[in-house]
Amino acid sequence: MSEKLQYKEIVKKVGCNAPWRLLDFAEKIDDTHLAGFKNVSADEEYFVGHFPVHPIMPGVLQLEAVRQLALCFLPGDIRVRQFEKVKFRRQVLPGDRMLVEIEIINREGALTVCKAKCSTVSGLCSEATVTFTTEPGRPAGLQDIPALDGEFARTADIAMDTDKVLGLMPHRFPFLQIDYVARFEGTKIIAVKNVSCNESFVNAGLDFVPESLMCEIAAQSGCACVLSRPENAGKLGFFMAIDKAVFHRQVVPGEQMLIEIDLPESKSRFGKGSGFIRVGSEIIAEVALMFALVDA
């Protein structure tokens, strides 16, 4: 039997407030099909910082809308275990109305595998295979005050400070997701993101970094790497696909994320990179992604 949720009921299910509410309506059509709807307004906070002169809904927030739709109806305390075969096909723009659809294709033990897609009147915008799990991740959080002088601390000899990052990419608050670049090692970048208790997602009621946002953090690190190369001066990077992203545990305020992405040089306008996100020596997530370089 169909089950329908208005936005206030969705908030109770998802536990998330503005600006991270990404569904206005949700429906369980049957046991294997879910649908959600989002009115995309020009005053959404993320438009301020995501390509400000040409506002675009971040593709990763379409993935977050999928996660929120799953939270509305899938049983248990679920979290994202894996994204794969993610493709961002069309831009979602201010004024669009977005349909989010999930088809459950397999349930086995703690895992639920789904096909998901987001669409507007212009057609298919994104698609993904998403695996949810009810298994808890490894414990997260600070146990002691961390040392300030770690290997990748923000000292005078870092490779790129925040101002230099801002000079390469159009991302701005509240959607600039790396704080600085600690080091370049050949074709690899090591970037840093400090997770604060003042993050917008924390203020919205989430006590962890959403898995979708980890993908954005990795993508911005990769873009900073490629756009720092002289031959790519003045270009823009667009997030195109996630081949696979696996999440071992959640990251919480107070932790520092180290993002290591290797992006081999290529003459193609499409770049591929892979690597991982860690907290200290602990690997939190592994990612393989693709983006396109275009003239600004």
Catalytic positions are: 50, 56, 59-60, 64
Backbone angles phi, psi at 141, to 5 degrees: 115, 155
Q: Which amino acid is at 262?
A: D
Q: Residues 150-155: contacts with CB within 8 Å, 24+ apart?
A: 150/256, 152/182, 152/183, 152/190, 152/192, 152/258, 154/179, 154/180, 154/182, 154/192
* Region at 70 (left for phi over 0; alpha for psi -120 to 50; beta for the rest): alpha
Hey, which residues does 134 pair with through a beta bridge?
A: none
> In what helix (H) or strand (E) does residue 73 lie, and over which residues does it extend?
helix 59-73
Question: Which segments of 134-223 are extended strands (E)?
Answer: 180-185, 188-194
For residues 31 and 74, the answer to whether their CB atoms sit within 8 Å is no
> In what helix (H) or strand (E) does residue 123 lie, and over which residues does it extend?
strand 123-133
Q: CA 262 to CA 258: how far, in whole Å?
A: 13
Tokens of 194: 């400090």
Q: CA 169 to CA 69: how far, in whole Å?
A: 31
Three-point CA angle 63, 278, 89, nearest 5°:
25
